[in-house]
Structure 1
Amino acid sequence: MNAAIFTKSAKGLIVASGLIAASSVMGYAQDAPVALGAQATVPLSSMYVSAPTGSASLGGHTFDLSGGNLIALANGQSASFAGSWANATGAYLLLNSANTYSWYDQSVVGTVTVTFSDGTTQSTDLMVGGNLREWRTGAGFTVNTLTDPAASTVWTGTAQTSMGGGTAVLDMLTISLAGTKTVTGLTLANTNSWGGLQINLAGLTIDPVIPVTTPTCNRPGSSCNTPAAQNSQAWKWQPTVPGAVNTNPHAQNADAATKAHTTH
């Protein structure tokens, strides 16, 4: 065979194949655990017996608990985290309170504020008995229930004897985000002004959207499923992503067509 003719034919096939396989960008949300860092000073092990550690999967999300500590916020204190999470669809906080006596029930005692790259913010109130409750649910005279569906129990264990013993929990608060903006910061604040209520943050993860390129039809009239396209051999010469292997995108259709034309 004439090498020049083969080269020319191959180039033509690649061009034709290019008409069939273009690409579109989609995406999927993926956990991006946030380390609590130096702000976390209270050992989880001082409160909970056999508390989760390391990279922990809780409530369907991954949290970085490798530091082994939680952040405890007293009245008027706050903790902030900075980063860049593109098109984030949600923020997830392992969040409870301590000294959550019954007189705090239905009171707003804190806020979670998400900041976006365009300067706008989204705030969520923390209400005792709604989306926030006592960590040691075995304690008496404390608010031990949740009514907001955005908050749920993701781990149940036992409190250390030195903390009073009994049942102890980790709850997860879900904050839904539009998924159209880049998150640049999150601040948790204890806005309570009286008594000894404390807000505990044991973990934080944010779900940015990771872009994924997927093939789409780019032929005139979206004619990628015509008999000519299905029987084309152009896929053999289609450039691939490094490490990938070309496969026939119409293998099943080609097999069916071959069987349909078999003579006996």
Structure 2
Amino acid sequence: MNAAIFTKSAKGLILASGLIAASSIMGYAQDAPVALGAQATSPLSAMYSGGPSGITTLGGHSFDLTAGNSISLGNGQSVSFAGSWANATGAYLLLNSANTYLWYDQTVVGNVTLTFSDGTTQSTDLMVGGNLREWRTGAGFTVNLIADPAAAQVWSGTATDGSAAVIDMLTISLDGTKTLTSVTVNDTNGWGALAILLAGLTISTPDPAPAPQPTCSRPGNSCNTPAAENSQAQKWLPSTTATTPATAPIDKHTTNGHHSK
């Protein structure tokens, strides 16, 4: 395993932007998986043995892992994804940490900030032992438990070195009344080798409204039988052509003032 990806200390900003049409692949009707793009440079295959890949479902949501890489954020680094997700109902992140030694337990080491089209923001702290834990739970001397119900394990297996490994999903619920325009993950930790790992991101939006269906008052499926459809065909409907009412004959004698006797 390449340990170098977990020991970054240089501060920087990794920015990835793009409209949802360019950066997302529609999965489930309510999910918009976001491709992590070129800034994802840490191969998942170097971390997990037989880990998830491609367009995959984890924790009941669809994620785009086709690039096969995750994003590793060191101290002071961040990554941002821009788009336009109308009436978003939730953001789901495949999120863990590396080098999560015991002394980080109950420490806030970062946050996820959501920005909306009206300029408002919503921020969720990332706390070790709360909603963030070590990805390689078999490493030893690391924080391997999460207590926040918003974070849940969605995959378990082994790391490439044979030790136990996991992928967790952080759920950020939204009320579905605003347009989400940006998702930013910030590593605010200022010391040590801890790194925040983002393996996937998806945004949930409301299902499209179904097309209205005609009502049927006949028993069973008899509304759809050939006879029923024929009986409702246009040729049997009353004509809608307007008719001109007949006019009464005009008495020519009454129009010139003369009357016959």
Q: Which residue pairs with 1:166 in the alignment?
A: 163
Alpha-carbon RMSD:
1.8
Q: Which structure has the larger Rg?
A: 2
> 1:247: Cα distance to partner?
5.5
- What SS is found at the alignment partner of 1:126? strand
Alignment of 1:135 with 2:135, yes or no, is: yes
- What SS is found at the alignment partner of 1:38? helix
- Greater relative contact order (CA < 8 Å, ≥ 6 in sequence): 1
Between the two proteins, the alignment pairs up a number of residues equal to: 195
* C-alpha spacing 1:96/1:251, structure 2 compared with 1 (3 Å): same
- State the identity %: 70
- What SS is found at the alignment partner of 2:82? strand
> 1:250: Cα distance to partner?
1.9
Unaligned runs of 5+ in 2: 1-27, 223-261
**Contact residue 129 and residue 144 of structure 1 kept, 8 A:** yes
Unaligned runs of 5+ in 1: 1-27, 216-245, 256-264
Q: Distance in 2 between matches of 1:86 and 1:132?
A: 28
Alignment of 1:205 with 2:172, yes or no, is: no
> 1:178: Cα distance to partner?
1.0
Q: Distance in 1 between matches of 2:29 and 2:90?
A: 9
**Contact residue 89 and residue 207 of structure 1 kept, 8 A:** yes
Q: Which residue pairs with 2:80 in the alignment?
A: 80
2:183 to 171, 180, 186: 186
Instruction: Give 1 or 2: higher strand fraction.
Output: 1
> 1:104: Cα distance to partner?
0.4
Q: Which residue pairs with 1:48 in the alignment?
A: 48
Alignment of 1:93 with 2:93, yes or no, is: yes
Q: Which residue pairs with 2:244 in the alignment?
A: none
2:173 to 170, 176, 189: 176
Q: What is the TM-score of this pair, normalised by structure 1?
A: 0.71
Q: Which residue pairs with 2:71 in the alignment?
A: 71
Q: Which residue pairs with 1:252 in the alignment?
A: 219
Q: Distance in 1 between matches of 2:128 and 2:96?
A: 10
Q: Distance in 2 between matches of 1:100 and 1:83?
A: 31
* C-alpha spacing 1:156/1:250, structure 2 compared with 1 (3 Å): same
Q: What is the TM-score of this pair, normalised by structure 2?
A: 0.71
Instruction: Give 1 or 2: higher helix fraction.
Output: 1
Q: Which residue pairs with 2:154 in the alignment?
A: 154
